[in-house]
Structure 1
Amino acid sequence: MSGRPIGTSFAYVVEPRFSGGTSAAVAAELRVTAQLGPVVVHARRSTMFGGDRHVAPVLRQAIDELSLPLIWDAPEIKADVVIFHNPSFLKFQTTFGGRIFARQLIVVTHENFLRPGGVEAFDVATCLDQIDRATLALSKCLAPISVHNRATMTEWLSAHRGRLDWKVLGSDWFNICVPDVSEPRDPPRDRRGRHSRPTREKFPPLADLDLCFPPHSEANVILGADFLMAAEVARPHWTMLAFGSLDVARFFEMVDFLVYFTAPTWRESFGRVIAEALAAGKVVLTDPDTGATFGDAVVACRPEEVDRLVQGFVAAPDSYTAQVQRAKPVLEALSASAFHRRLVQLLELEAGVCV
């Protein structure tokens, strides 16, 4: 990846205590943005997380490696481009608590605006209004991170037309992924798994888990099964492991298929776990909304279709290999190099235009 610095100054506005995909996404992004101009990271304490000054380890590592300034709760934030990540952290307060001055303000919307069925996922208007009132900028843009995230944003904006004047970037502000794809197992075996943070919304109903991880599978590994273990769910054919108890790389060595569904009332906004599985050379089976960002690199299906699909791949190893290989161009389009090109393109456009 190359590209001369263009002298643009950047300010990142983050709630650095997000422990999941938000902090990992910002960390990867900082390593790209720092090549293009000076970067300052503005950390904001929020009612959502309280008053301490903890920084998620993955984000702290990137800030330290790049020797970036980290400023807490500045009354004024000034830069050519201000990139505001995950505005949902403002949902329990009424004011942002500072002023933002920029040529371009880009608000990266990590959380879906709507849940399945059209229910608002959080108080979107309250969060965006706080940023809007605090900002003086030539251009204000919302940046969805995925196909599904964009769809929920578009639907929400259509229902609130006229109240908020936000443009929407024409291309997704994707989470940066590792583009290298490991060689697939040859031949594949019926070894299934899933991993996520141990929150209930990350898991489908127990009946769907039973469909996805049946007794006749050679292995069923569930990493992040804390609440299942606490509830004493008895499935002798499942290997249930607490979140963080096993290195993710080791987890992927134990499975050939990632089977990932969530609660019916919730969807992933991006699906970093899916990107990790694709890079590890695994076949991924998931719902169509979650899989949309990854195109034909994943197998979109319903829980009741999983067993037939897995058996088909096991019976036809060439089809398994072909499916794994579909991940490479998809992950390359979500790579640091692709993000670099996208950001340069955005910055070279006339101020005030979102593409």
Structure 2
Amino acid sequence: MRALDVVLASDFRLPGGTNHSNAQELAIQKRLGLTTGLIQCNSRLSARPIPWSASITAELDAHSVRPLDPSVPTHARLALLRHPVALEALPNLTSYLAVDQALIIANQPPVRPSGTPEYDIAQVTAAVQERLGITPTWAPISPVVREGLKKHGNDVRIADRDWINVFAQEATPPPRVGFTTKTPRIGRHSRPQKAKWPATASEILQAYPPTDDYDVRILGGTTALDGVLTGVPSNWTVHPFGSLSPQEFLADVDFWVYFHHPDWLEAYGRAIMEALWSGAVVILPEYFRATYGDAAVYCKPADVRRVIDEFRSGKRNYLEQSVNGQTFAQTHGPAVHEERLLRLLEQSPSPLGNEAEPPRREIEISQRISTSKQPSNRSTSRPPGPKALFITSNGSGMGHLTRLLGLARQLANDVEPVFFSMSQGVSVAGLAGFSYEYVPYTSALKTRATTWNEYFRSRVLAAIAHHHPSFIVFDGTWPYKGLMDALEEHPEVRRVWVRRAMWKPGVQSPHLDNPGLFDTIIEPGEYARTFDRGATTAVGGAVKVPPMTVLSEDELLPRQQARAELGLSSAPDRHYALVTLGAGNINSIASTQEHITAVIADIPGWDSVVTKPPIATRASSAHLMTLSTFPMAKYTRAFDFAVSAAGYNSFSEWITGCLPTVWIPNTATKTDDQEARAQWAAYAGIGECVSDQNGAEVALAVGRMTDDSVRDHYAARLAEVKEPNGSPAAADIVMRILNNV
């Protein structure tokens, strides 16, 4: 029997949003290392024999995503069934497919506002029961659909959470700095369908004024208005559908206005999300408020001019509303699908191996660590205490984010942490149960520092206005001007700087001489502190704590359990080396990694496992066993030794877990002195220090680590030097500040 993680049933011929959503979810499932089988439903939505959407065929490959083969009996842990109308044509699968659970993803209400039915809930449910052999749960994509299901669904099961569509943009949202022209520029883009426009000429011209006081831009043509308008107003610029990308079109639009036919209900508007992402202020009918909240502005067509004029006059804050929209769009990124999918798959056993399938070489575990260290049966809802904004810089690794995640876990029983990070790995905070917001750094936005700092200031102010934090904790090499400007406007907010030591010699920051900007500075401990030659050694005022890690030693899994969870052999004669050289975003690690794994492969009884951090942009090597999980430290004891970069996280975590290590420092970092850490490790006798430029030296060090006596020696020394986790001590300092102790 073939084993799959997911099967997806839909009509893959459809153009537009349905298959955009299918394709984006398939891409995420592939990245998670999951296998997906596709089931075509030849629905009444497309009467012509047309091929599958190009967005779907682009995701097909030999192993991860392919059509389900009816000749092969198959078991899947989860069935995703998208579009109720398509499911009317679901083929009978009972003779060759068994699934553990099934979700009907309802992308539109069952009944139109006029009372015309779109689909019959009971009939679709019965079709799934008959043809798949399981009673499905309905998962609405928005509050609008949920309301329709509740009204017309009788006794069907409805999921507790909406299955919101993923809006995965490769770029980061461009910050707005003001209006594009003196004349307000109104825009809209949609398919050329009558349902996408108001029914009357009066409402059309109210929403899109036909006067030179407004510049109206239309992407999608106006053929749907034939017979409704007598002609296209002279102040309208009309582009045919598909003649511009939405991103190109929206870049010049100040206000994106969307009103549609009264017999149409929009469950989820991909065009709306594109407009929010662009930074245009979005104006919608009132019923959208349940879906988009304060990300958009709501009114009737007759009020559009008044709303726009209020923003133009300054009565309403345009940039603040723009940021609200972009922030909302970012919360619909890939992490949404990762979290819900892994949550559902946890409810079903992993698929058994299959001789017909190639071995899975990538182990991707999105670990749901607890919000606090202490086990608890309490609800995962946050306590009613004060909120704290945890702000981290991007960095070249995960150090800033990981330190604050460890701190947040210690504080979670007393405060509500909210992460506000420039790290592209920030979704790990969501897996720990914390709210988070991603804010791209200037290098990601490719903007000047002055422009970015103004943008960052506006984002921080919006976050403070939304969350009302009692204090902020910042972890970064130096505080940004945009952050400090925002905090100047909120002197009531207490602030803490978690400032790592071990700066490279010669690196300076003006903030080192002005510690009064913060209520206190916490310096996370460094094992290699006697080798610290950086600027922080010359300034005082910081409160020092032991090395900070996200997990304490007692949270690391025992060896057998760790290997079992990773799918590694527990046989006593099988040995594993962890190769973790960093993200590879600022330095090339491929050749060094290949060299190390080749050396290990030549040693009988040894295998290597290569890590891929959450922020890594490089692709995994097809022939290496790759592990992508967070926090990696949980599985420390699964391995016999590590070959590792000497960043703060890895250095502290491998010492905590007494893991013998060959240290290969990353010398391309801007401020972090990894070379000094690795040199101290060799001096202290807890590991080996080698350069990635010397292949022979690397091979010798790796070879020595395969000797049991060498590893035993290093493990004993590590046990002597390891210190307790500094995160609880840092949490005590923060709470004393909060309580004015």
TM-score by length of 2: 0.42
Q: CA separation in 1, counterparts of 2:71 and 2:193?
A: 33
**Counterpart amino acid of 2:37?**
V
CA RMSD of aligned residues (A): 2.7
Query: How far, CA to CA, are the matches of 1:61 and 1:123 in structure 2?
Result: 32
Distance 1:28 1:291 in 2: 25
Residue among 233, 237, 246 paired with 1:239:
237
Q: Runs of 5+ in structure 1 lacking a partner?
A: 1-6
Q: 2:146 aligns with which of 133, 150, 153?
A: 150
Count matched residues. Answer: 336
Hey, what's the Cα distance between the residues in 2 that align with 1:250 and 1:331? 18
* Cα distance change, pair 317–339 in 1 and its aligned pair in 2 (3 A): farther
Alpha carbons 1:223, 1:241 under 8 Å: kept: yes
* CA distance in 1 between partners of 2:70 and 2:197 (Å): 35
Aligned partner of 1:198: which letter?
P
Whether the aligned pair in 2 keeps the contact of 1:43 and 1:72 (CA below 8 Å) is no
Equivalent position of 1:193 in the other structure: 187
1:181 corresponds to which of 160, 173, 176: 173
Q: Which runs of 4+ in 1 moved over 6 A?
A: 72-77
TM-superposed deviation, 1:122: 3.1
Aligned residues of 2:45 and 2:85 also touching (Cα < 8 A): no
> For the residues of structure 2 that align with 1:218 and 1:328, how far apart are their CA atoms?
24
CA 1:289–1:103: 2 relative to 1, 3 Å: same
Going from structure 1 to structure 2, the CA distance change for 1:126 and 1:72 (only over 3 Å counts) comes to farther
Partner of 1:88: 85
Match of 2:124 in 1: 127
Tell me, yes or no, if structure 1 residue 28 matches structure 2 residue 20.
Answer: no
Find the residue that maps to 2:38 and give its secondary structure. Answer: strand
Distance 1:217 1:114 in 2: 39
C-alpha separation between the residues in 2 aligned to 1:188 and 1:280? 13
Q: Which residue of 2 aligns with 1:106?
A: 103
Cα deviation digits, residues 71-129 of structure 1 (max 9, x gap): 488897641111111121245x6x74443521001111112212225542334443332
Compute the displacement of 1:181 (Å).
2.7
Q: Which runs of 5+ in 2 are unaligned?
A: 350-741
Supply the distance in 1 between the matched residues of 2:337 and 2:327 (Cα, whole angstroms): 14
Amino acid at match of 1:147: P
Separation (CA, whole Å) in 2 of partners of 1:326 and 1:124:
35
1:1-355 map, 5 Å: 9-34=5-30, 35=32, 37-50=34-47, 52=49, 54-64=51-61, 68-71=65-68, 78-90=75-87, 96-99=91-94, 101-116=98-113, 118-137=115-134, 140-157=136-153, 161-162=154-155, 166-178=156-168, 180-187=172-179, 189=181, 190-205=184-199, 206-214=201-209, 215-228=211-224, 230-231=226-227, 233-316=231-314, 319-349=317-347
Query: Equivalent residue of 2:60, what SS?
Result: helix
Cα 1:345–1:8 change in 2 (3 A) is: farther
TM-superposed CA distance for 1:350, in Å, is: 7.1
Residue type matched to 1:33 in 2?
Q
Q: Distance in 2 between matches of 1:57 and 1:87?
A: 22
Displacement after TM superposition at 1:8 (Å): 6.5
Change (3 A) 1:16 1:281: same
Aligned AA (2:160): G
Find the residue that maps to 1:170 and give its secondary structure: coil
Taking the aligned partners of 1:230 and 1:102, their CA distance within structure 2 comes to 49
Of all paired residues, the percent bearing the same amino acid is 25
Cα distance, 1:281 vs structure 2: 0.9
2-structure distance, mates of 1:86, 1:175: 13
Secondary structure at 2:328's aligned position in 1? helix
Q: In structure 2, what residue type is equivalent to 1:308? A: R
Question: What secondary structure sits across from 2:265 in the alignment?
Answer: coil
Return the offset for 1:43. 2.1
**d(CA) in 2 for partners of 1:66, 1:350:** 21
> Residue type of the partner of 2:314?
A
> Quick check: 24-33 or 224-233, which moved more?
224-233
Q: What does residue 696 of structure 2 align with?
A: none
TM-score by length of 1: 0.85
Q: Which amino acid aligns with 2:16?
A: G
CA distance in 2, matches of 1:69, 1:145: 25
Give the deviation of 1:41 after TM superposition. Answer: 1.7
Deviation at 1:223, TM superposition (A): 1.5
- State the distance in 2 between where 1:98 and 1:347 align: 21
Question: Letter of the aligned partner of 1:84 in structure 2?
Answer: L
Letter in 2 for 1:155: K
